[in-house]
Structure 1
Amino acid sequence: MSTTSLPSDYFLHRYQFTETNHRDVYPVLQDVVSDSQVGKTVLITGASQGIGKGIALAFAKAGASGLVLAARNVQKLEETKAEILKINSKAKVLVVSVDTTLPEAVSALERTVKDAFGHVDILVNNAGIGGRGLVKDIDVNKWWSDMEVNVKGTFLVTQAYLRLLPADKRGFIGNVGSYAAEMVVPSASSYIVSKLAVHRFTELVSSEHPNVQVVAFHPGSVMSSIVADMSDFAHFAQDKVGLPGIFAVYVCSERAAYLDGRYASCNWDVLELEAKKDEIISKDLLKERLTGVYSTV
């Protein structure tokens, strides 16, 4: 059966962890994150459009006082900034053009943020890309560019954030992952491998930094320029962009501490997810693991 013949909610249910799934912002989630980021400074990569822009707007609505919007396209970042200021005219918004795959560019971003804010409370690694092509055919540079943006970029910005975070402060990182990491889709190897790496990187950063809450999350199936070019997957893109935005606020809050080092989907109902909190922790769920092997531990 081809993907185009599957119903648009097929993957929504295939990767279901809560009984209830959502495709748009719902009242309970809005209530949970309301005013949760008052006084916080947030750095968001890929904030110029789509999901990244939605994340920036969601943090503004949750009361963030400082927002650093990072991406390559300054004009689009300025459009995001204008919308933020309509939500909160008192917010301090910094627009920074940056290629997150370049160490020198990320170092310059770090210096700019330090000069403007001194530190950053929250990081959302959203910048991402997805190329297509069979392994035997795809150009190596095109394949590797996904790894550069999705993995190297996430690493470099995370490293900068950890330097900006005061040692006595609790930090929060939201990494945009994907349920694609659990799939086998011919012609999508670079995207799948890179998102699997992001999930594992999330767990590793969490283990190294007890004072930093790190969560990888699936941003739903939202229509974007990447998805639009994937004719076999475009019809699954039924989620509203506001949902991953507000879910990013949730995973970067104290309330989501039980998800530290783990993965969650923005489609999952937060109250049902929280009801499974003890099970998630005791059984060490929502992490990448081998199955079907013996262990003496």
Structure 2
Amino acid sequence: MSGGGREFTGLTAVVTGGASGIGLATATLLAERGARVACLDVNPEVPEPLLGLAADVADDASVRAAIAAAHDAFGGLDVLVNNAAVGALGTIESNDDDEWHRVLDVNVVGIVRVTRAALPYLRASSHAAVVNIGSIAAWLGLPQRALYSASKGAVQALTLAMAADYVSAGIRVNCVNPGTADTPWVRRLLAAAADPAAELAALRARQPTGRLTTPQEVAAAVAYLAGPLAGSTTGSVLAVDGGMHGLRLPAGAT
């Protein structure tokens, strides 16, 4: 089946952080390819045919209620995309203990909470797949990203451990590591910079393609890993980063 097919027809999906950015792009693409999709978000306003459900991944009770509501609405659950996350700037000295706990609680333990709630339903599916959204920061030492990098490094390691734990149950677990994507969060960072234009140029220049990654490009990678055509792919980490991870180009080549 081609990439523009309807390979998700008859399947259901949950996308956390699904009301904007990469989450909304992913939910929209899965729906276009035939899935019924629920978006879990603290502000769950999403266009039809997406189903918006209020949930805070830092709150176990709200997560369990939302996952149960998605299952009840669709009659099953086949695909889980763990996208919800928060950003953080600075060195290890820049954030206090409370901020470290907050970011790790959302970015890492949030994946645990959502997946844990979804597992009984995923075990009942014959096409069960989990895709976690990591970051190029899990691979590269980026300045002023200590806390965020720590959280995304944990997501990558967690993905591999989950894949090993649940392969015998028929649940595939993979990870997508985007580069710097053109999302609302990145745009807010740019707006707060002393020279937004110069900062944007620097972000573009550090990716060998010379541009930011689009949410739709990340969504396409997620859809591949989540779909039936990737039935032999588990425990994989897919970079969608404009070549940041794999390429080393001569200075000025971009």
TM-score bracket relative to the smaller structure: 0.7 to 0.9
Q: Percent identity?
A: 26
Deviation at 1:33, TM superposition (A): 5.0
| Residues 39, 267 of structure 1: alpha-carbon distance in 2 compared, 3 angstrom cutoff | farther
SS of match in other structure, 1:124: strand
Equivalent runs, 1:80-91 vs 2, <5 Å: 80-82=46-48, 85=49
Match of 1:183 in 2: 140
1:153-179 residue CA offsets vs partner (Å, 9 max, x unmatched): 111111111122244623101110111
Question: What RMSD in Å do the two structures reach over aligned CA positions?
Answer: 2.4
- CA–CA distance in 1 between the matches of 2:165 and 2:229? 21
TM norm structure 2 = 0.81
Equivalent runs, 1:87-236 vs 2, <5 Å: 93-167=50-124, 169-210=126-167, 211-228=170-187, 229=189, 231=193, 234=200, 235-236=203-204
Structure 2 spans left out of the alignment, 5+ residues:
205-210, 247-254
Higher relative contact order (CA 8 A, sep 6+): 1
Structure 1 spans left out of the alignment, 5+ residues:
1-29, 86-92, 270-285, 287-297
Deviation at 1:240, TM superposition (A): 2.3
- CA–CA distance in 2 between the matches of 1:115 and 1:187? 43
- CA–CA distance in 2 between the matches of 1:165 and 1:104? 19
Match of 1:39 in 2: 10
Is the 1:33–1:246 Cα contact (8 Å) retained in structure 2? no
Match of 1:59 in 2: 30
User: Which of residues 68, 72, 76 is equivalent to 2:42?
Assistant: 72
Counterpart of 1:60 in structure 2: which amino acid? A
Is the 1:143–1:190 Cα contact (8 Å) retained in structure 2? yes
- CA–CA distance in 2 between the matches of 1:221 and 1:258? 28
- CA–CA distance in 2 between the matches of 1:42 and 1:97? 16
1:129-155 residue CA offsets vs partner (Å, 9 max, x unmatched): 111122223222223222111101111
1:12-33 residue CA offsets vs partner (Å, 9 max, x unmatched): xxxxxxxxxxxxxxxxxx9335
Is the 1:33–1:250 Cα contact (8 Å) retained in structure 2? no
1:101-149 residue CA offsets vs partner (Å, 9 max, x unmatched): 1111111112212322232100001111111122223222223222111
Indicate whether 1:253 and 2:227 are aligned.
yes
